[in-house]
A and B are shown apart, each in its own frame.
Chain A
Amino acid sequence: MPSARVKMVLGRVAQAVPVAVGVVVISFLLTRALPGDPAAYFAGPAADEASIAQIREARGLDKPLIQQFVIYVGELLRGELGTSISTGQSVAADLARRLPASLELTLTALVISCAVALPLGILAATRPGSWVDHLCRVLVTAGVSLPTFFTGIVLIYVFYYLLGLAPSPLGRLDFIYLPPERVSGFYLVDAAIAGDWGTWLGALKQLILPAVTLALFTLAPIARMTRAAMLSALSSDFIRTARAAGLTRRKVLYGYALRNALLPVVTTLGMVFSFTLGANVLVEKVFAWPGIGSYAVEALVVSDYAAVQGFVLAMALLFVVLNLVIDIAYALIDPRIGLT
């Protein structure tokens, strides 16, 4: 019955709306909860009385809070997040320009960590007490204790300074290469489209260390959840029935156990995304990665207020959308929907 799935997907979309509204309200409060004068913050530390007054007038900061909120939402709907005082450009444009770098890093990291964590968790669950199981347990406990910024620094020391394998940890591309023509903003994709494999390799080399750093961080929760979910799926009645019916080991393991075990794993991915978006900020700072995380850190240093709050809001909305995608994916792969 496809209608059950469609209904469920629509339900998830409807649930995301109040959350998105809540996110906007909280970020509005964050921009207005300042102990001092918001206009002075938006104008920056170098502003004089006249320009502060001008900003107060222009942004409607002298109006009542409700009215300010209406103005704020109106600006958001037009895609305006204010102007960054350090770059002099609109925050939305800055973020849009730097977002692909962060996404490329995050997605690569998630692909790496899923590619390692899922098989590891499955193997650990199917062979409890074996060395794979112990390895999984050690990795899981150590992984959640790793400060990402510290892992990144250790990797730089080992692979750049000691072994000389990695290029210097300064951004997305060594200065000997020209960035590829912008199509998607992902250097790997753009260089491949342009057919410039030298640049592609150069971009990949820069990407590996930060992506592995992030992947090490996200590996633990995914492996832990995969193992636990596989264990509980394997001990359930339907697996016993499938085994008793004489199905092959492969069919039982991947056809039935894994398909059910993937559900909690997909749910965990939402939490993992939350951590990754936060850890991104730290990793980008360590590797001088020109994404939105390092943009926010630079903005924090110079008290570039609009830029920081624009970043927080953008990340939160991105996260709401990601969670929505995950929920929909959940609805699509859940074998129980449509059976009842």
Chain B
Amino acid sequence: MAEISMPSARVEKAGGTLRHIAYVLRTNPVTMIAFAMFAFFLACGVFGPALAPYDPLASNAAIALQPPSAAHWFGTDNLGRDVFSRVIVATRLDLMISVAAVALSFLAGSALGAVAGYWGGWLDAVLNRLLDTIMAFPLFVLAMGIVAALGNTIENIIYATAIINVPFYARLVRAEVNIRRNAGFALAAKLSGNSDLRVLALHIFPNALPPMMVQVSLNLGWAILNAAGLSFIGLGVRPPTPEWGIMVAEGANFIVSGEWWLALFPGLWLMLAVFTFNLLGDGLRDMVDPRKRT
């Protein structure tokens, strides 16, 4: 009997989770839209250069500063480059910076938080002090300082964004690991001969993953904003590379003379991307933890 009922229960449980997700999606169409927009941005990132109708770097002085038209959907900039193509191609770079930064802070934060939460003691105290100190800086300003100190490159933008995000992950993981350190299942795993590291990595840490996913999604939007802000003030990405922050910065010079499309479209695109990740994060939170809905 037991052999038969076990797998069927498992199937039912998986089906239940899927049904729950489907239910949440049905009752919350906004989340579904967020998933669709996420897929759209992903496609832009992967196929960007192939989708763009023009070469994003090819300048043509004859058609400089033209308003949006059928040929140039988002108009052309002061060098006659197609704004639409530049916006599309920039998706890959912006997504890459934010995904790389968030992945780095996810890994570093998980490792630090898990160790501190599981073993506690002086490790925990030192880590907490360090995180407090990082959080004591206004984060964007700290990122500016790090990039200024390490050098003005795209990699350093990624490192800076990763460093200022680490505290969020480390604290989350630390809290999740800490409350399960002495839970029955963890002690049972330990008693059956698993090493501390194995219990931590395979039994306790996976429990922290659902809230981490929510954090990742919310953080991705924030990381994009951060990277675009840094390049807006002239750090990291250099012109003529198409990037949303730089394009808005360049377009800002033309806004007072009425050429609105230069800054508006990359800005809107950036906003839409951030909006997508924020909606996605909210939606994921609803799936993971219905109580935290605000």
Interface positions of A (Cβ within 8 A of B): 18-20, 22-23, 25-27, 30-31, 33-35, 141-142, 144-150, 153-154, 156-157, 160-161, 168-169, 224, 227-228, 231, 273-279, 281-282, 285-286, 296-297, 300-301, 305, 308-309, 311-312, 315-316, 319-320, 323
Is B93 in contact with chain A by the CB < 8 A criterion?
A: no
With A150-B248, A150-B271, A277-B138 known as contacts, the answer to whether A312 contacts B144 (CB < 8 A) is: yes
Pairwise interchain contact B138-A278, C-beta atoms closer than 8 A: yes
Pairwise interchain contact B263-A33, C-beta atoms closer than 8 A: no
Which residues in A have their C-beta under 8 angstroms from that of B133?
Answer: 19, 22-23, 25-26
Is B2 in contact with chain A by the CB < 8 A criterion?
A: no
Mostly, the A contact residues are: helix
Name the residue on A nearest B30 (C-beta).
A141
Which residues in B have their C-beta under 8 angstroms from that of A282?
Answer: 229, 232-233
Interface positions of B (Cβ within 8 A of A): 129-130, 132-142, 144-146, 148-151, 221, 225, 228-229, 232-235, 245, 248-249, 251-252, 255-258, 260, 263-264, 267-268, 270-271, 274-275, 278-279, 282, 294
- Of A26, A147, A309, A315, which is within 8 A of B225 by CB? A147
Distance A320 CA – B138 CA, assembled complex (angstroms)? 9
Distance A293 CA – B252 CA, assembled complex (angstroms)? 18
A sample of 7 more A-B contacts (CB under 8 A), given A26-B134, A282-B229, A297-B234, is: A22-B129, A141-B282, A150-B267, A161-B256, A161-B260, A228-B294, A300-B233
Which residues in B have their C-beta under 8 angstroms from that of A33?
Answer: 149-150
With A153-B255, A278-B140, A285-B233 known as contacts, the answer to whether A34 contacts B228 (CB < 8 A) is: no
- Of A19, A145, A281, which is within 8 A of B233 by CB? A281
Which residues in B have their C-beta under 8 angstroms from that of A296?
Answer: 144
Pairwise interchain contact B264-A312, C-beta atoms closer than 8 A: no
Pairwise interchain contact A320-B232, C-beta atoms closer than 8 A: no
Which residues in B have their C-beta under 8 angstroms from that of A228?
Answer: 294
Most buried by A among B146, B270, B294: B294
Distance A34 CA – B136 CA, assembled complex (angstroms)? 22
Pairwise interchain contact A19-B256, C-beta atoms closer than 8 A: no
With A142-B275, A153-B263 known as contacts, the answer to whether A30 contacts B149 (CB < 8 A) is: yes
Distance A320 CA – B257 CA, assembled complex (angstroms)? 41
With A27-B145, A312-B145, A315-B141 known as contacts, the answer to whether A145 contacts B271 (CB < 8 A) is: yes
Pairwise interchain contact A147-B144, C-beta atoms closer than 8 A: no
Which residues in B have their C-beta under 8 angstroms from that of A231?
Answer: 294
Which residues in A have their C-beta under 8 angstroms from that of B258?
Answer: 161
Distance A22 CA – B232 CA, assembled complex (angstroms)? 29
Q: Report A125 CB to chain B, min CB distance, Å.
A: 10
Name the residue on A nearest B277 (C-beta).
A145
Q: Report B278 CB to chain A, min CB distance, Å.
A: 5
- Of A147, A276, A312, which is within 8 A of B137 by CB? A312
23 residue pairs of the A-B complex, CB under 8 angstroms, read A19-B133, A22-B132, A25-B133, A26-B137, A149-B229, A149-B245, A154-B267, A228-B294, A275-B138, A275-B139, A276-B138, A277-B138, A278-B138, A282-B233, A285-B232, A300-B148, A308-B145, A309-B149, A311-B145, A315-B137, A316-B138, A316-B141, A319-B138
- Of B132, B257, B267, B278, which is within 8 A of A147 by CB? B267
Q: Report A37 CB to chain B, min CB distance, Å.
A: 13
The 10 A-B pairs with the shortest beta carbon distances in the complex, nearest first, are A278-B140, A22-B133, A150-B267, A312-B145, A277-B138, A145-B275, A145-B274, A30-B149, A228-B294, A316-B137
Name the residue on B nearest A225 (C-beta).
B294
Pairwise interchain contact B275-A141, C-beta atoms closer than 8 A: yes
Q: Report A12 CB to chain B, min CB distance, Å.
A: 13
Distance A320 CA – B251 CA, assembled complex (angstroms)? 36
With A19-B133, A34-B149, A154-B264 known as contacts, the answer to whether A147 contacts B271 (CB < 8 A) is: yes
Which residues in A have their C-beta under 8 angstroms from that of B129?
Answer: 18, 22
Pairwise interchain contact B139-A274, C-beta atoms closer than 8 A: yes
Pairwise interchain contact B150-A35, C-beta atoms closer than 8 A: yes
Q: Report B171 CB to chain A, min CB distance, Å.
A: 13
Name the residue on A nearest B229 (C-beta).
A282
Most buried by A among B149, B228, B282: B149
With A27-B145, A282-B233, A316-B138 known as contacts, the answer to whether A145 contacts B252 (CB < 8 A) is: no
Name the residue on A nearest B135 (C-beta).
A274
Pairwise interchain contact A274-B138, C-beta atoms closer than 8 A: yes
Pairwise interchain contact B141-A147, C-beta atoms closer than 8 A: no
Name the residue on A nearest B263 (C-beta).
A153
Q: Report B133 CB to chain A, min CB distance, Å.
A: 3
Which residues in A have their C-beta under 8 angstroms from that of B264?
Answer: 154, 157
Name the residue on A nearest B232 (C-beta).
A149
Which residues in A have their C-beta under 8 angstroms from that of B144?
Answer: 281, 296, 300, 308, 312
Pairwise interchain contact A286-B148, C-beta atoms closer than 8 A: no
With A160-B256, A161-B255 known as contacts, the answer to whether A227 contacts B136 (CB < 8 A) is: no
Name the residue on A nearest B226 (C-beta).
A278
Name the residue on A nearest B149 (C-beta).
A30
- Of A18, A169, A281, which is within 8 A of B141 by CB? A281
Which residues in B have their C-beta under 8 angstroms from that of A35?
Answer: 150-151
Name the residue on B nearest A273 (C-beta).
B138
Distance A301 CA – B232 CA, assembled complex (angstroms)? 12
Q: Report B122 CB to chain A, min CB distance, Å.
A: 15
Distance A228 CA – B148 CA, assembled complex (angstroms)? 38
Distance A22 CA – B135 CA, assembled complex (angstroms)? 11
Which residues in B have their C-beta under 8 angstroms from that of A160?
Answer: 256
Q: Report A254 CB to chain B, min CB distance, Å.
A: 22
With A274-B139, A282-B229 known as contacts, the answer to whether A153 contacts B145 (CB < 8 A) is: no
Distance A278 CA – B233 CA, assembled complex (angstroms)? 12
Distance A228 CA – B267 CA, assembled complex (angstroms)? 30
Distance A60 CA – B4 CA, assembled complex (angstroms)? 77
